[in-house]
Amino acid sequence: MGFKLTTIEEFESATDRLLETGKKVGADSWQMRVKNQTPHCKFGEQGICCRICSMGPCRITPKAPRGICGCDAHGIVGRNFLRFTAGGAATHSDHGREICHTLHCASRDGSYHVKDAEKLIRIAGEWGVETEGKDIYDLAHEMSELALMEYGKPFGISRWLSRAPEHTRELWKKAEIEPRAIDREVSCAMHMTHMGCSSLPEALVRQALRAGMADGWGGSMCGTEFSDVMFGTPMPVDTEANLGVMKEDEVNIIVHGHDPSLSEMICEYAGDPEMIALAKSLGAKGINVAGVCCTSNEVAMRRGVPMAGNFLQQENVVLTGACEAIVVDVQCIFPALGPLSKCFHTKFITTSPIAQMPDSDFIRFSAESAAENAKKIVRTAVENYVNRKSDLVHIPQMKQKATVGYSVEAIVKTLDGVTNSQVDVLGTTKPLIECITSGVIRGAVAMVGCNNPRVRPDSAHVGLMKKLIQNDIILVLSGCSAQAAAKAGLMDKQAKDLCGAGLKRVCELADIPPVLHMGSCVDISRMMVLASELAKDSGLNISQLPLVGCAPEWMSEKAVSIGNYVVATGIDTFLGVAPQVTGSSEVTGLLTEGIRDWVEAAYTVETDIDKLCDAMITRIEEKRAALGI
């Protein structure tokens, strides 16, 4: 049978079938809740509702152009935007902090190990830490302490900034957006937005960029880099995606959330012979682990664990009736999973004090007692197999093959493979630059972010990707965008046939799919490193590269924090969902144009997806024209 993408219509009919089961058991769904919440509050949508003091809430209208304290729409919108960013920066960075803490727990005979010693030594070198003659675990502990200090150090700026090209660093310095201690930027954002502090849009937007920088060039980079040190730097690996990866005759454990400290341990113990024997004794053929959201990206990239789905598919996993446990840590977890799991036999297992929810079984997970906790979680899931109600089981037979695991290291290695060991380009991004300058590839799009019911789920991701690869534009992906691609089949190497002639040739030569999975949302820090390497290897500024960012279906605070650091790094960013800033022409003007004076890039917002695609292609071609290529 020939290769064929799975269509959005096919995704939807699978969902419809599952919603029928939901109806049978009296389950609620996001599709129903969206209807109840529509139309949305106009003040909230435009960002002109202020509730940061109890004289309010104040809402801006033509008749009431100022809040009680006298703040105008621009100040209110700017403060809301900064707080939104701070929420995202705190969230990603706290995830990074957990990883640093886990690294501190790593030991030769414990649950967590140093898998990529070379990478740890490389980072130590960047940070000026002596490595000669040091035991690798002593070095790991020393580095984890230094990394944890990045969150609260009293002086100086983020250590990671040294990875950026000099020109970019100069821009950051001049714009005063170099992040200091990570927590300080979040805290400063909260301070600035307290009643009676900043109401000047320029100051608020500047801090929004700085808080974003503390995420991408701070907390997220800690998360990515030290996860690689412990769990291995991703290299290309084959896996599968969509609900069809769940197995009717096995115990299905779904890991959902973000932190690989948990999901890695669940995978470990799901492969434990004792647990498998237990599963078999209860009539199951084995234990199947699959993922949802970014935790799925983490274990797919490093272990080839299949991806059950992305953000708006999380309820579907339970609706299959074949999910023994959905094990979550932090972020992007629907509280709806509590009541929904009660309609089935599914155990909804929360594990983090950061994300506690009603109707869940809380099994606290911590790095110090990881083995014991993980074993308990896996056992709970396995023992639940006998409670499955077979008449409710329906797993849509829908999945695609995907090759994932394109860390920067993996991309460089792949490029090395096609250059026939031409010494001067080995270990660099130069072969890719050559493809771009020669026009074989027109440029690159970094597509990231969520699903959002404001957009037909996955349709913008997949639609844009199809059109971009036809136009010889290569994609690097992360987060739920990457999962949309994998579900559709775009990460199958055979998807090269959907590309323009140039990109198709590159895919064949390098043996890659046309869309490259770079990981979870914290891994967008990888994209910042890649952009920096491309700039250094080409002698261009990042803003000159025919490279743009895109979040067509974004929804979270994290996504805004990401957008801010991507733009601040000099990469024009295209959004398919409007941020809640339209109530201020000044804030909107800064984000879509004004900040270009500081960082050589800005946002474009376009909710018509065809137009969004054209705008990206136009921008890429403009950048090429400016370079004379």
Which spans of this chain sit near ligand BF8 (rule: CB under 6 A)? 258, 293-294, 310-311, 332, 449-450, 479-480, 520-521, 556, 558-559
Cα dihedral sign, 484-487-490-493: positive
In the complex, least distance from residue 185 CB atom to ligand BF8, rounded to whole angstroms:
19
Among 8, 14, 50, 323, binds ligand SF4 (CB under 6 A): 50
- For ligand SF4, the closer of residues 198 and 520 by Cβ is 198
- For ligand BF8, the closer of residues 59 and 303 by Cβ is 303
The piece of 67-75, 113-121, 175-183, 244-252 that touches ligand SF4 (CB under 6 A) is 67-75
**Dist CA 620 CA 548 (whole Å):** 7
Q: Please report, as residue ranges, which positions from 142 to 201 form the binding site for ligand SF4 (by CB under 6 A).
A: 195
Does 56 engage in binding with ligand SF4 (CB under 6 A)?
yes
**Dist CA 402 CA 562 (whole Å):** 25
Question: Which single residue is written with the structure tokens 């997970």?
Answer: 365
Indicate which of ligand BF8, ligand SF4, none lies near residue 626 (CB less than 5 to 8 Å, by partner kind). none
Indicate which of ligand BF8, ligand SF4, none lies near residue 521 (CB less than 5 to 8 Å, by partner kind). ligand BF8
In one-letter notation, the amino acid at residue 235 is M
612-429-127 Cα angle (round to 5): 105
Indicate which of ligand BF8, ligand SF4, none lies near residue 58 (CB less than 5 to 8 Å, by partner kind). ligand SF4
In the complex, least distance from residue 311 CB atom to ligand BF8, rounded to whole angstroms:
4
- For ligand BF8, the closer of residues 246 and 555 by Cβ is 555
Q: Coil, strand or helix: which one is 572?
A: coil
- For ligand BF8, the closer of residues 52 and 575 by Cβ is 575
**Dist CA 7 CA 28 (whole Å):** 25
Paired tokens of 617 = 């292609």
Indicate which of ligand SF4, ligand BF8, none lies near residue 399 (CB less than 5 to 8 Å, by partner kind). none
Q: How many CA atoms lie within 13 A of 303 on its CB side?
A: 21
The piece of 47-55, 205-213, 221-229, 542-550 that touches ligand SF4 (CB under 6 A) is 47-55
Indicate which of ligand SF4, ligand BF8, none lies near residue 450 (CB less than 5 to 8 Å, by partner kind). ligand BF8
Indicate which of ligand BF8, ligand SF4, none lies near residue 172 (CB less than 5 to 8 Å, by partner kind). none
- For ligand BF8, the closer of residues 429 and 573 by Cβ is 573
Indicate which of ligand SF4, ligand BF8, none lies near residue 332 (CB less than 5 to 8 Å, by partner kind). ligand BF8
In the complex, least distance from residue 84 CB atom to ligand SF4, rounded to whole angstroms:
15
Burial 264-296 (b: 16+ CB within 10 A, else e): bbbbbbbeeeebbebbeeeebeebbbbbbbbbb
Using alpha carbons, select from 626, 229, 259 the residue that is nearest to residue 409: 229
Indicate which of ligand BF8, ligand SF4, none lies near residue 53 (CB less than 5 to 8 Å, by partner kind). ligand SF4
> Which residues are 356's β-sheet partners?
none
Q: Please report, as residue ranges, which positions from 76 to 95 form the binding site for ligand SF4 (by CB under 6 A).
A: 76
- For ligand SF4, the closer of residues 55 and 626 by Cβ is 55
Indicate which of ligand SF4, ligand BF8, none lies near residue 311 (CB less than 5 to 8 Å, by partner kind). ligand BF8
Among 25, 69, 149, 363, binds ligand SF4 (CB under 6 A): 69
In the complex, least distance from residue 305 CB atom to ligand BF8, rounded to whole angstroms:
16
Indicate which of ligand BF8, ligand SF4, none lies near residue 57 (CB less than 5 to 8 Å, by partner kind). ligand SF4
369-373-375 Cα angle (round to 5): 125
Q: Give one DSSP letter per residue of 158-216, joined into a string.
A: -GGGGGS-HHHHHHHHHHT----SHHHHHHHHHHHTSTTS---HHHHHHHHHHHHHHII
Using alpha carbons, select from 566, 525, 526 the residue that is nearest to residue 542: 566
- For ligand BF8, the closer of residues 316 and 556 by Cβ is 556
The angle, 0 to 180 degrees and rounded to 10, between the axes of the packed helices 136-149 and 220-231 is 170
In the complex, least distance from residue 48 CB atom to ligand SF4, rounded to whole angstroms:
10
Using alpha carbons, select from 234, 230, 272 the residue that is nearest to residue 253: 272
Q: For residue 148, with 0-12 CB atoms within 10 Å meaning exposed, 13-18 middle and 19 or more buried, which class applies?
A: middle
Alpha-helix runs per DSSP H in 356-407: 370-383
- For ligand BF8, the closer of residues 139 and 560 by Cβ is 560
Using alpha carbons, select from 262, 266, 246 the residue that is nearest to residue 318: 246
Among 53, 354, 357, 578, binds ligand SF4 (CB under 6 A): 53
Indicate which of ligand BF8, ligand SF4, none lies near residue 347 (CB less than 5 to 8 Å, by partner kind). none
Contact 424, 510 (CB under 8 A): no
Paired tokens of 190 = 């909260």
Among 55, 64, 282, 629, binds ligand SF4 (CB under 6 A): 55
Among 17, 42, 51, 364, binds ligand SF4 (CB under 6 A): 51
Contact 499, 470 (CB under 8 A): yes
- If phi > 0 it is left, if psi is from -120 to 50 it is alpha, else beta; for residue 410 that is alpha
Indicate which of ligand SF4, ligand BF8, none lies near residue 510 (CB less than 5 to 8 Å, by partner kind). none
Indicate which of ligand SF4, ligand BF8, none lies near residue 449 (CB less than 5 to 8 Å, by partner kind). ligand BF8
- For ligand BF8, the closer of residues 150 and 298 by Cβ is 298
Contact 517, 405 (CB under 8 A): yes
Q: For residue 109, with 0-12 CB atoms within 10 Å meaning exposed, 13-18 middle and 19 or more buried, which class applies?
A: exposed
- For ligand BF8, the closer of residues 83 and 258 by Cβ is 258
In the complex, least distance from residue 450 CB atom to ligand BF8, rounded to whole angstroms:
3
The piece of 48-56, 252-260, 471-479, 604-612 that touches ligand SF4 (CB under 6 A) is 48-56
In the complex, least distance from residue 324 CB atom to ligand SF4, rounded to whole angstroms:
47
Q: How many CA atoms lie within 13 A of 288 on its CB side?
A: 21
The piece of 53-61, 350-358, 461-469, 564-572 that touches ligand SF4 (CB under 6 A) is 53-61
Indicate which of ligand BF8, ligand SF4, none lies near residue 69 (CB less than 5 to 8 Å, by partner kind). ligand SF4
In one-letter notation, the amino acid at residue 232 is G
Question: Which single residue is written with the structure tokens 């995907």?
Answer: 402
- Give, for 603, the enclosing helix (H) or strand (E): strand 603-605
In the complex, least distance from residue 556 CB atom to ligand BF8, rounded to whole angstroms:
4
- Give, for 550, the enclosing helix (H) or strand (E): strand 547-551
In the complex, least distance from residue 558 CB atom to ligand BF8, rounded to whole angstroms:
5
- For ligand BF8, the closer of residues 206 and 558 by Cβ is 558
Summarize as ranges the residues that interact with ligand SF4 (CB under 6 A).
50-53, 55-58, 67-69, 71, 76, 195
